[in-house]
Amino acid sequence: MTQGYLIFHLNLAFSSIKAEARPEVISKCYWPLLDLAERTGIPIGIELTGWTLQQIASLDQAWLERFRRMLERRQCELIGSGWSQIIGPLVPYEVNRWNQWLGMDAYRQMLGVTPRLVLVNEMAFSTGMLDVYAEAGYEGIVMDRDNVRLALGLGHAPLAATPTHALGCGDRALPVLWSDSILFQRLQRVVHGDIPVTEYMAYVKQRAGRDHAALPIYCNDAEIFDYRPGRFTTESRLHPEGEWERFNRVCTLLQEDLGLNWLSPSEALEIQAASPSPNIRHLTSVSQPVPVKKQAKYNINRWAVTGRDDLWLNTLCHRMHQTLSPRGDAPDNDWRELCELWASDLRTHITADRWDETINRIAQAIHRLGMEVLKPGSVKRVASNPPLCENSLPEGVQIIQDEEGIFWTVKTPNVHLVLNIRRGLAIVALAFKSHRFEPVVGTLPQGYFSTIELGADFYCGGILVEVPGERSRVTDLEWVTPKIQQQGTGLLISAMIPLAHGALEKTITIDIATERVKLTYDFQQFDRPLGTVRVGIITLLPEAFSLPLAVRCVNGGKETELFPLDHEVNHGHAASTLVSSTAAFGATNGRMMIEDAANRKLVFSWNPADCAAIPMLKHQRAGDRHLTRLSFSLCELDDTARAGGRLMPFSVELSSE
């Protein structure tokens, strides 16, 4: 017997829904949803945040009371989300815990129940988030199957090869109820009238015969039926039959013509979890550290460095977290406000009036919390010291120039660094004492790889700005005159590099007392473009590392996640001409580590409260050699991106531990 289930996502914070339109959404979308459950007898799963539940309660108490009664009668099932719909892998662990605690509290207070299942917000999953959900008390998760299969290299494998349980950072695991992007999009199309009912029924029949599992007939938005927010000029017309009526008719046909037996989400999960041979594994990989929903244009960078000004917004949220966290006794409302400001919908197609409201809310929070916030395009500066000359260098420090003045070699007791003065202070080689002064990162010159595919210079420590609309490509590979200063134990080598539309102040700080080198990029009079801005592009020297490599970082959870670098990766590969990248790490505590088989480590650290840049990896094999580069994105391009905004100054520190 064919079995299936329905889950609807309710979200009054939807980016393009104006605040004054929320009662209309409740009337046109949420009431018909409850009608659908009663008329068909389908135990529909309804997922909504605590915030959305609170908004409904204030706007339409009758809907809330009816929903509560239907939950008591098991005519539908509550699916959890959290207080706010946030992208967990981009958010610190403490905020994720608060978001789930506040959400659970709201469900108890307003509905008298707590959900067993949680739907992963925007289907943006990380291994660390599994532990957050388990700590909150959930018994299972709802996640997009297609992109997990893609992340695990199972795109062409039988459906039975898909994991049944998601493994966290330790031994903890939860069963997974799968969503299916193609199935729910096909149902949207037939309800909107874009494909005929006969075609849809034939497709579901085909899937039932092929999948041999309960079908996730629909797991997506409720606000797209009998309502259009006006986000796109290409939005389809409302179907004259009435889209909720059409939805009801399709569900009846599935039951009568295909013999589909409807399950509640929990029932479907129990059947899957009862498998005699559970497939328990991580749902992520180094190529997709954070799988998300739908097709390739949706990736983690969508909420990290695109939108109207995601970089600035995320940076301010990190700064608020670092202000609240040490206090210990911050009231629940402060954490609730932070969760709301980290909402995913503020980072995509948000309307202009709601964006202005968001800016005002942040200004009020800054004032209330007594935060210090730097103006865009500025950095904290220590009182400038006079430039140093060769005979006034600190003890134990040498700067040696080659005969042509191209390369400067800087030696301290702990670091050896070679810089290319004709290429914008590009790092030729960087070596640490604990590595026996064997260089670990640097420039790979043209000809290093035998294939013409990699027939270029791969510099280290530079930037790359690309603006497709202007057919513009900007780097910092210019001839510079460095300035050398000392601030405390730091030796600063800096240069001002003119760019097409502004300038870049680039500073390399070597800590004389430790094995630490910091790279700082400060764009001046340079507007955030409608394109990509990647800085701190670090090239590993293959001879310094024993394969295989592995990457470690935290992605929204408490523990570090491990990613074996066992296949080729290119997070910065464009998904299309309109989407500039496909993946990234969350690295929510501002720390990443690359290690090799011989336990040699290279650590990258930065403060996301100064600049919430997103790290991206490229790893490509070429014969017995490999090109491995880590970069930090300040801006990416997708359908949500808008010109303007801020490029926050970014600093990343490299060390051996």
Q: What is the CATH number of the domain that holds 16?
A: 3.20.110.20
DSSP letter for 532, please: E
Same domain, 229 and 326: no
Spatial contact of 582 and 571, defined as CB atoms under 8 Å apart: yes
Please tell me the predicted confidence (pLDDT) of residue 277: 86
**What gap in Å lies between CA 180 and CA 163, rounded to an integer?**
14
**What gap in Å lies between CA 145 and CA 129, rounded to an integer?**
17
Give the domain extent around 363.
315-369
Q: What is the pLDDT of residues 153-207, one digit of tens each?
A: 998 999 989 999 999 999 999 999 999 999 999 999 999 999 999 999 999 999 9
Average pLDDT over the chain reads 93
**Residue 45: its H or E element:** strand 44-48
Query: What pTM was computed for the model?
Result: 0.94
**What is 396-459 written as a DSSP string?**
T-EEEE-TTS-EEEEE-SSEEEEEEGGGTTEEEEEEEGGGTT---EE-B-TTSSSSGGG-S-B-
Give a yes or no: residue 234 inside a domain: yes
Give a yes or no: residue 326 inside a domain: yes
Q: What are phi and psi of 168, to 5 degrees?
A: -85, -160
Give a yes or no: residue 344 inside a domain: yes
Give a yes or no: residue 406 inside a domain: no
Same domain, 319 and 214: no
Please tell me the predicted confidence (pLDDT) of residue 231: 56
Same domain, 215 and 329: no
Give a yes or no: residue 591 inside a domain: no
**DSSP-assigned beta bridge partners for residue 45:** 7, 77
Same domain, 344 and 201: no
Same domain, 263 and 351: no
Q: What are phi and psi of 527, to 5 degrees?
A: -75, 145
Question: How many independent structural domains does the chain possess?
Answer: 2
Helices (H), 89-240: 93-111, 127-136, 145-151, 181-192, 197-211
**What gap in Å lies between CA 251 and CA 332, rounded to an integer?**
42
Spatial contact of 503 and 476, defined as CB atoms under 8 Å apart: no
Same domain, 31 and 158: yes
**What gap in Å lies between CA 576 and CA 372, rounded to an integer?**
39
- Residues with pLDDT less than 50, the chain: 375-383
Same domain, 9 and 80: yes
Same domain, 269 and 331: no
Q: What is the pLDDT of residues 78-132, one digit of tens each?
A: 999 999 999 999 999 999 999 999 999 999 999 999 999 999 999 999 999 999 9
Give a yes or no: residue 226 inside a domain: yes
Same domain, 193 and 247: yes
First to last CA, the chain: 57
Name every residue whose Cβ is closer than 8 Å to that of residue 16 and which is 6 or more positions away in sequence.
Answer: 229, 230, 231, 349, 350, 351
Q: Which of 210, 50, 185 is nearest to 114 (CA)?
A: 50
Same domain, 274 and 322: no
Q: Give just the sign of the alpha carbon dihedral 467, 471, 476, 481.
A: negative
* Domain end marker among 340, 369, 398: 369
Please tell me the predicted confidence (pLDDT) of residue 388: 65
Give a yes or no: residue 329 inside a domain: yes
Please tell me the predicted confidence (pLDDT) of residue 389: 63
Please tell me the predicted confidence (pLDDT) of residue 15: 81
Please tell me the predicted confidence (pLDDT) of residue 288: 96
Strands of the sheet with 415-420, listed across from one edge = 398-401, 407-411, 415-420, 426-432, 441-442
Same domain, 277 and 329: no
Same domain, 210 and 338: no
Q: Which of 41, 43, 33 is nearest to 245 (CA)?
A: 33
Give a yes or no: residue 281 inside a domain: yes
Please tell me the predicted confidence (pLDDT) of residue 19: 86
